[in-house]
Amino acid sequence: MFNQLRVLALSTVLLNINLAQAQEQKKPAGNYSAAVADIGIVVKDLEKSVKFYTEILGMKEVKGFNVPAEKAARFGLTDNQPATIRVFVLDQADGPKTKFKLMSFPQAPGKMQDQKFIHSTVGVSYVTLFVTDMDQAIERLKKSKVKLLGETPSDLGGKTFITVFQDPDGNFIELIGPMK
């Protein structure tokens, strides 16, 4: 009986150690709690941009949110302007999702940047999206009369291509993926 109790006690200790190790492994490594980052984009015409990001790029709209003017000002984000944020995700099967947060400020529309080239202004200059079917993506772009930039699509090697264009506000977007 005593040996059975010792085995049971030892088993309990080992189980607790395994549970503690499993809990420790669930904690994110490094400085960040997520493997993806959200991207906020201020746009001139919210509805036009929503159409571009959903119908042309194929993103899926998910639940957005509002930030009252007082709170946006308290966070240091606006000069007392309310924010309506519409949120979009890439249409991927599972796993963490990058979120694109589109917002506009009709009372304070902001200034357009010089977006002739990605080096024309300092700051975030482009977004890279990895697609599964470049032919299909290009078809949607051409159908919507989106101008492709440079000599794209261009072969990057290994059946991988790059296509570059701009969204309605001039933000550069590059698609990378296979062509048939």
Among 46, 140, 38, which Cα is nearest to 84's? 46
For residue 5, is pLDDT > 60? no
Specify the pLDDT at position 147: 97
In which domain, by residue range, is 162 found? 123-180
Specify the pLDDT at position 95: 79
Model's pTM, two decimal places? 0.78
Specify the pLDDT at position 56: 95
| Residue 102, φ and ψ in degrees, nearest 5 | -100, 135
Q: Which CATH number do you get for residue 71?
A: 3.10.180.10
Total count of domains within the chain: 2
User: Do 131 and 84 fall within a single domain?
Assistant: no
Specify the pLDDT at position 135: 95
pLDDT in tens, 115-159: 889 888 888 889 999 999 999 999 999 999 999 999 999 999 989
